[in-house]
């Protein structure tokens, strides 16, 4: 823009939608023309080995949908590729930027990224302004009486529920100010190949709440052979759906589902307030565990060839679809960290590579929960029995037979380890580690 009209930007990140978007609402409400932008960040993309990564395709398709919506409003979406602070330094030369609006991101890398962006913008007299959007309550809003953060879920949940009211669930009426999107410009929408990825033909879960399923959520959610969960994880991860809209639905449909959204806020708070969990256990004493080193056992776990059908079914579902049922995620994680006594961070990294709905806070929190190293009031000696879990939650082996067709035949491998022996081995090692040097 040669005339350097003063503008604001809205920077899409984990909020890929035009509706009920806190930062976008505030950007448009400020009154200046708003340039919507998304930045493909090589600091993130370069870590992805699969050049057909399903998540990149999901982001790309979501951006395409936003672009088409903006075109109907006479506006356009700017898509950039580069290190964010460098992109903003360049955009600051092209535009007279007043403020860049965005939503809070609580991950350690995101905080470092935003700090660099603040510096780059400040050199041109611009600023970064961010808002709460991807959680119902963020860290400072749910604290203990001594103003310290909760580190155990149940009391956190009680406080979270006691604070919940219509104010925190209200929708941001972005449509009221949509006339402030920048007009009479057209940005070319890039091909995915231009950032080094190949588009895939994937069918992603719909962005809708199935009320029939969710009314029964508390009764059917633990049975992997049943379509009994929302399947909205990927939409929550990338913000194509508002968490407030889901919490409103959950409050009226099913309290157990609402509780699951509380877990999401809890783990986000833990990551925000205790970032050391990214590199090691929440409880430092668990860093003394002498994990086994066995690449063959780990590979058999990854490929779903452990000889424990419910574990193998889960891993094969993950490898094939990028999804794994929530109950089975707990079973497979417990098996890796307790039965095989392999470092939980190996499994965390594998899930991070494979899960379509991978979220650092939830993935880390749930893996540490399963390994007994994280925020959990239960002691370390909770060890899931894969056979008992299968009998209880897949009693007719429908889930197992779907993903492990050779189950029950001579082709199916023998168990990689005997569960009773493995359980006792794990308990002995945990006790040794907790006694200290």
Judge whether residue 432 has pLDDT over 60. yes
Second-level CATH architecture of 276-432: Orthogonal Bundle (1.10)
Q: Which of 107, 141, 175, 260 is catalytic?
A: 260
Percent of the chain with pLDDT over 70: 98
The span from the CA of 168 to the CA of 22, in Å, is: 12
Task: Give the list of residues 6+ apart from residue 341 with CB closer than 8 angstroms, or none.
Answer: 291, 292, 422, 425, 426, 429
Task: Give the list of residues 6+ apart from residue 416 with CB closer than 8 angstroms, or none.
Answer: 297, 300, 301, 305, 306, 307, 308, 340
Second-level CATH architecture of 1-132: 3-Layer(aba) Sandwich (3.40)
Query: How many other CB atoms are there within 10 angstroms of residue 289's CB atom?
Result: 22
Q: What is the pLDDT of residue 377?
A: 59
Q: What is the pLDDT of residue 380?
A: 75
Both structure tokens of 262: 């509380």
Residues of CATH 3.40.50.620 domain(s) within the chain? 1-132
Q: Mark whether 21 is an active-site residue.
A: no
Percent of the chain with pLDDT over 90: 95
Q: Which of 263, 305, 319, 353 is catalytic?
A: 263
Q: Mark whether 8 is an active-site residue.
A: no
**For 314-337, what is the mean pLDDT?**
97
Inter-residue contact 231 to 257 (CB < 8 Å): no
Q: What is the pLDDT of residue 437?
A: 67
Q: Which of 11, 88, 257, 344 is catalytic?
A: 344
Inter-residue contact 366 to 328 (CB < 8 Å): no
Q: Which of 86, 107, 291, 305 is catalytic?
A: 291
Q: What is the pLDDT of residue 1?
A: 43
Residue bearing the bigger pLDDT, 3 or 133: 133
Confidence of residue 3 (pLDDT cuts 50, 70, 90): low
Residues of CATH 1.25.40.80 domain(s) within the chain? 135-171+212-273
Confidence of residue 337 (pLDDT cuts 50, 70, 90): very high
Residues of CATH 1.10.579.10 domain(s) within the chain? 276-432
The whole-chain average pLDDT of the chain stands at: 96
Q: What is the pLDDT of residue 2?
A: 47
Q: Which of 160, 257, 367, 369 is catalytic?
A: 367
Judge whether residue 282 has pLDDT over 90. yes
Q: Mark whether 263 is an active-site residue.
A: yes
Q: What is the pLDDT of residue 307?
A: 98
Q: What is the pLDDT of residue 382?
A: 86
Q: Mark whether 257 is an active-site residue.
A: no
Q: What is the pLDDT of residue 139?
A: 87
Among the listed residues 81, 22, 70, the one whose alpha carbon sits nearest the alpha carbon of residue 46: 81
Which pTM value belongs to this model?
A: 0.95
CATH number of 135-171+212-273: 1.25.40.80
Confidence of residue 216 (pLDDT cuts 50, 70, 90): very high
Among the listed residues 301, 311, 282, the one whose alpha carbon sits nearest the alpha carbon of residue 369: 282
**For 180-189, what is the mean pLDDT?**
96
Q: List pLDDT tens digits, range 352-389.
A: 999 999 999 999 999 999 999 998 756 678 899 999 99
């Amino acid at each position: 823009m040669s005339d350097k009209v003063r503008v604001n930007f809205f920077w899409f990140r984990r909020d890929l939608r035009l509706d009920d978007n806190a930062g976008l609402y505030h950007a448009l409400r400020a009154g200046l023309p708003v340039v919507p932008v998304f930045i493909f960040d090589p600091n993130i993309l370069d870590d992805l080995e699969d050049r057909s990564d399903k998540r990149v395709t999901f982001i790309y398709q979501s951006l395409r949908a936003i672009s088409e919506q903006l075109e109907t409003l006479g506006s356009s979406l700017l898509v950039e590729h580069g290190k964010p602070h460098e992109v903003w330094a360049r955009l600051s030369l092209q535009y007279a930027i007043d403020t860049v609006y965005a939503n809070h991101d609580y991950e350690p890398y995101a905080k470092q990224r935003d700090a660099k962006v603040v510096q780059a913008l400040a050199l041109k007299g611009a600023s970064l302004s961010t808002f709460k959007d991807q959680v119902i309550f963020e860290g400072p809003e749910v604290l203990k009486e001594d103003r310290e953060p909760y580190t155990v879920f149940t009391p956190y949940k009680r406080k979270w529920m006691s604070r919940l009211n219509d104010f925190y669930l209200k929708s941001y009426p972005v449509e009221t100010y949509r006339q402030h999107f920048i007009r009479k410009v057209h940005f070319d929408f890039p091909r995915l190949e231009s950032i080094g990825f190949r588009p895939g033909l994937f069918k992603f879960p719909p962005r809708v709440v199935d009320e029939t399923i969710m009314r029964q959520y508390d009764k059917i959610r633990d049975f992997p052979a049943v379509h009994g969960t929302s399947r909205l994880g990927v939409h929550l991860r990338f913000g194509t759906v508002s968490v407030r809209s889901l919490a409103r639905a959950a409050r009226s449909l099913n309290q157990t589902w609402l509780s699951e959204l509380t877990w999401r806020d809890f783990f986000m708070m833990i990551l925000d307030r205790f970032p050391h969990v990214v590199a090691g256990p929440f409880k430092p004493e668990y860093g003394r565990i002498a994990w086994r080193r066995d690449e063959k056992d780990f590979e058999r776990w990854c490929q779903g060839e452990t000889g424990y059908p419910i574990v193998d079914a889960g891993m094969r579902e993950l490898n094939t679809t990028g999804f794994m049922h929530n109950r089975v995620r707990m079973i497979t994680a417990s098996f890796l960290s307790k039965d095989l006594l392999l470092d939980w961070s190996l499994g965390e990294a594998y899930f991070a590579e494979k899960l379509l709905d991978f979220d650092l806070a939830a993935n880390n929190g749930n893996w540490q929960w399963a390994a007994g190293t994280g925020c959990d009031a239960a002691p370390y000696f909770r060890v899931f029995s894969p056979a008992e879990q299968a009998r209880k939650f897949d009693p007719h082996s429908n889930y197992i037979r779907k993903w492990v067709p050779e189950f029950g035949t001579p082709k199916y491998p023998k168990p990689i380890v005997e569960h009773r022996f493995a359980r006792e081995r794990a308990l002995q090692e945990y006790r040794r580690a907790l006694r200290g040097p």
